[in-house]
Amino acid sequence: MNDSADIRFLLTLRESGSLIAAARKLGLSPSAVTQRLQQLEKKLGAQLVNRSARRLQFTEEGSLLCERGAELVEQFDALFDDLQMRRGGLVGTLKINAPLGFGRRHLAPVIGEFQQQNPDIDVALTLSDRPLTDTPDRFDIVVHIGELRISNLVGHMIAPNARFVCAAPALLKRLGAPQSPDELSRLPCILLRENNEDVSLWQFSKGRMRRSVRVSAHLSCNDGDVIREWACQGRGVILRSEWDVADDIAKGKLVRLLPGWKAPDANVIALTHQRAGLPARTRHFMQYLQSRFRPLPPWRR
């Protein structure tokens, strides 16, 4: 294996999940893909993939080659990106994954402007309700909101973001506003299902005091826009990111509850596979993104 083409071929197999899908992506016949894989294994003297009818399963050697090879390919691409920059510009494809609501409202406009300023960069934006489970190694940048569980990805701070408990004025007029987190258990709540979290357990702090409240809900959804609209209609109380409800609070459609109690922050971060050796297009987009959310993000202006 004396160039990056073989590694890129193997990474395409892993990303595609099957020989047929890989053949479609590579523009080859399935038999040609199989033959190339066999030639690669013969050249290395090791089996890299256990074939099956439904899904490819990589051997330890194949997994190691993909893991280490991906790092080498990124470094190789970063080197040539830097050389290209010296000759006059940013080039290549930038693949980004982000949450649905935040991606639509705040990220898509920034990406559109960035691409317009850098026309030789192709940007592929994927919006998902589960960015961290959508094979993050397929993307150059994964935008994440909230606490980051143990991960081998590197986090870059983009913007601060608090979380507020909110309800419509009509609901509060009918049922009264809670005076403590414990009183939330008597109110109808609306839940946002995301990241396989326990979304019905709401946590708060006030100085050294801590409260955890199990709320009940007849309405839930995996789309933040939907639960915010339900809340504005007076259907229940929501615990939602500041970026999503700041406008509705300012317009009086929603009222922030329990201002003396603090829910855990859900800061906006961008995740990359490594801190050093990033392609020039990735570095420049990160800088551009951070500049658009500093010194204050849009929801605090």
> Which tens digits make up the pLDDT trace of 282-299?
989 999 999 999 889 999
CATH number at residue 69: 1.10.10.10
- Are residue 49 and residue 71 in the same domain, yes or no? yes
Q: What is the pLDDT of residues 271-284, one digit of tens each?
A: 988 777 788 889 89
Domain presence at residue 262: no
pLDDT value of residue 1 = 47
- Are residue 285 and residue 136 in the same domain, yes or no? yes
Q: What is the pLDDT of residues 222-245, one digit of tens each?
A: 899 999 999 999 999 999 999 999
Q: How confident is the model at residue 150 (pLDDT cuts 50, 70, 90)?
A: low
* % of the chain exceeding 70 in pLDDT: 91
pLDDT value of residue 36 = 87
pLDDT value of residue 52 = 62
Q: What is the pLDDT of residues 109-141, one digit of tens each?
A: 999 999 999 998 999 999 987 766 656 567 899
DSSP conformation class of 145: E
pLDDT value of residue 50 = 83
Task: Pick 124 or 51 by higher pLDDT.
Answer: 124
What value does the mean pLDDT of the chain take? Answer: 87
| pTM of structure | 0.70
With 60 as the cut, is the pLDDT of residue 300 above it? Answer: yes
pLDDT value of residue 102 = 95
Average pLDDT over residues 252-272: 95
pLDDT value of residue 58 = 86
- Are residue 41 and residue 74 in the same domain, yes or no? yes
Out of 54, 82, 110, a domain closes at: 82
- Are residue 139 and residue 271 in the same domain, yes or no? yes
Domain presence at residue 226: yes
- Are residue 105 and residue 247 in the same domain, yes or no? no
Domain presence at residue 202: yes
Q: What is the pLDDT of residues 65-114, one digit of tens each?
A: 888 888 887 777 777 666 665 544 678 889 999 999 999 999 999 999 99
Domain presence at residue 209: yes
Out of 60, 82, 104, a domain closes at: 82
User: Which segments of the chain does DSSP mark as H helices, in order?
Assistant: 4-16, 19-26, 30-44, 60-86, 100-102, 108-117, 169-175, 224-232, 242-251, 280-292
With 80 as the cut, is the pLDDT of residue 43 above it? Answer: yes
CB 108 within 8 A of CB 125: yes
Residue 216 phi/psi, 5-degree rounding, is -110, 150
- Are residue 187 and residue 250 in the same domain, yes or no? yes
- Are residue 142 and residue 291 in the same domain, yes or no? yes
**Closest to 275 (Cα-Cα) out of 71, 69, 68, 7:** 71
- Are residue 62 and residue 98 in the same domain, yes or no? no
DSSP conformation class of 104: I
Number of domains in the chain: 3
- Are residue 104 and residue 115 in the same domain, yes or no? yes
CATH number at residue 288: 3.40.190.10
pLDDT value of residue 82 = 67
- Are residue 215 and residue 249 in the same domain, yes or no? yes
pLDDT value of residue 53 = 47
With 90 as the cut, is the pLDDT of residue 27 above it? Answer: no
pLDDT value of residue 266 = 94
Out of 63, 82, 101, a domain closes at: 82
Domain presence at residue 95: yes
Domain that holds residue 239: 163-257
Euclidean distance between CA atoms 129 and 223, whole angstroms: 7
Average pLDDT over residues 198-206: 93
Pairing state of beta strands 141-145 and 92-99? Answer: parallel
- Are residue 167 and residue 157 in the same domain, yes or no? no
Q: How confident is the model at residue 164 (pLDDT cuts 50, 70, 90)?
A: very high
Indicate the residue type of 267: N
- Are residue 291 and residue 143 in the same domain, yes or no? yes
